């Protein structure tokens, strides 16, 4: 995979991504995307650039924003990591289950463990926390502490 | 007459306990060691132990993994499906006390928080020799003489 060529195709279409895209090492591209243009960029990367495998979605607690990194890959092994950040007081992501049905599991994890909301996901049970877990407790946030007997 | 029947039944139970294996969410290392104990190299089958697929056929519940909040109801349900008299063996440190996870959110401790345990086999993972030792000790304690 020619990383520089891929980055050039991407920044030709979306010039505002030039500062936030970098080639970390061979076969790894990282890109930060503002949330307004997230879906457009994702569609371009999946369809035009060919990164059509979703490996996983990583949730990040960045202080005052919550981030989600979408790890997309191509059959020959190169990975494109797309990061999008949303403000913590209103953390809403758009679901990608219409093109990646398996993303449902990862989106449910960031809903339960980081307290994000995902628009477009159909109603379902808690995953991975148990059914009687109280609302409002998000274990993987950096400021969440646990004492025995709290939940 | 009834005493004789009881003696035969106790003999059958101590000479040939059937087990059901359950994993409450462990990393699987203890499960691999339990299965290894059942295979010909360590061979716990020479004690008459057979692994069954359902708790309704089993005398002994061999359980690995810490007790999580999600597994609480399910483990109790499996225990209640076993016919009396039944025994529980906790394999591995996680099943004995929660192991490295005992202070985590969502973990209630070892499986003795939900069901009564007859034998504890510590280790991470418990080696097959330790499992055989624990099973033999359990059988010896069941034997009335």
CATH number assigned to the domain comprising residue B47 = 3.40.50.12280
| Domain of B95, in residue numbers | 18-139
| Domain of A59, in residue numbers | 3-92
Note whether residue B111 is domain-resident. Answer: yes
| Number of structural domains found in chain B | 1
User: How close, in Å, is residue A133 to chain B by CA atoms?
Assistant: 9
Mean pLDDT of A4-24: 90
Note whether residue A98 is domain-resident. Answer: no
Summary mean pLDDT of chain A = 89
> Rounded to an integer, what is the distance from CA A51 to the centroid of its chain?
15
Q: Do A128 and A110 form a contact (C-beta atoms < 8 A)?
A: no
Note whether residue B10 is domain-resident. Answer: no
Note whether residue B24 is domain-resident. Answer: yes
Q: Does A76 touch chain B (CB under 8 A)?
A: no
Note whether residue B103 is domain-resident. Answer: yes
Note whether residue A113 is domain-resident. Answer: no
Note whether residue B108 is domain-resident. Answer: yes
Q: Does A125 touch chain B (CB under 8 A)?
A: no
Q: What is the ipTM of this complex?
A: 0.71
- CB atoms closer than 10 angstroms to residue A96: 25
Note whether residue A63 is domain-resident. Answer: yes
Note whether residue B119 is domain-resident. Answer: yes
Note whether residue A84 is domain-resident. Answer: yes
Note whether residue A99 is domain-resident. Answer: no
Longest dimension (CA), chain B: 54
User: How close, in Å, is residue B107 to chain A by CA atoms?
Assistant: 10
Task: Tell me the residue ranges of DSSP E strands in B65-118.
Answer: 67-68, 87-91, 107-109
Which range, of B10-14, B115-119, B133-137, averages the lowest pLDDT? B10-14
Band (A133; pLDDT cuts 50, 70, 90)? confident
Mean pLDDT of A81-96: 92
Residue of A70, A66, A69 lying closest to A144 (CA atoms): A66
B128-to-A55, B32, B40, B51 alpha-carbon distances in Å? 37, 9, 12, 15
Q: What confidence score (pLDDT) does residue B145 get?
A: 60
* pTM listed for this prediction: 0.81
> Rounded to an integer, what is the distance from CA B135 to the centroid of its chain?
9
Note whether residue A78 is domain-resident. Answer: yes
| Number of structural domains found in chain A | 1
| Phi then psi dihedrals of residue A2, to 5 deg | -95, 105
Q: Do A151 and B70 touch (CB under 8 A)?
A: no
Note whether residue B1 is domain-resident. Answer: no
Q: Exposure pattern of B121-144 as b/e (b: 16+ CB <10 Å)?
A: bbbebbebebbbebbeebbeebee
Q: pLDDT tens across B85-111, in order?
A: 889 999 999 999 988 998 888 888 889
């Amino acid at each position: 995979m020619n990383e520089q060529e891929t980055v050039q195709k991407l920044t030709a279409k979306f010039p505002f991504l030039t500062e936030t895209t970098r080639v970390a090492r061979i076969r790894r591209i990282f890109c930060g995307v503002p949330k307004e243009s997230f879906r457009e960029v994702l569609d371009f990367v999946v369809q035009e650039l060919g990164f059509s495998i979703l490996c996983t979605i990583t949730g990040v607690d960045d202080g005052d924003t919550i981030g989600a990194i979408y790890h997309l890959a191509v059959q020959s092994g190169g990975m494109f990591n797309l990061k999008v950040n949303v403000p913590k007081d209103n953390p809403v992501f758009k679901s990608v289950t219409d093109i990646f049905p398996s993303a449902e599991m990862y989106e449910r994890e960031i809903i339960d463990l980081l307290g994000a909301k995902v628009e477009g996901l159909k109603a379902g049970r808690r995953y991975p926390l148990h059914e009687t877990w109280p609302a409002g407790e998000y274990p993987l946030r950096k400021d969440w502490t646990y004492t025995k007997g709290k939940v | 007459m009834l005493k004789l029947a009881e003696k035969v039944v106790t003999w059958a139970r101590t000479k040939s306990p059937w087990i059901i294996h359950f994993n409450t969410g462990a990393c699987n290392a203890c499960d691999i060691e339990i299965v290894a104990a059942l295979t010909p190299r360590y061979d716990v089958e020479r004690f008459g132990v057979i692994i069954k697929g359902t708790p309704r056929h089993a005398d002994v519940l061999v359980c690995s993994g810490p007790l999580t909040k999600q597994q609480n109801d399910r483990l109790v349900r499996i225990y209640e499906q076993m016919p009396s008299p039944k025994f529980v063996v906790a394999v591995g440190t996680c099943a004995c006390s929660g192991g490295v996870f005992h202070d985590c959110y969502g973990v209630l401790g070892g499986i003795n928080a939900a069901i009564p345990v007859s034998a504890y086999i510590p280790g991470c993972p418990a080696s097959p020799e330790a499992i055989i030792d624990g099973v033999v000790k359990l059988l010896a304690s069941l034997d009335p003489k």
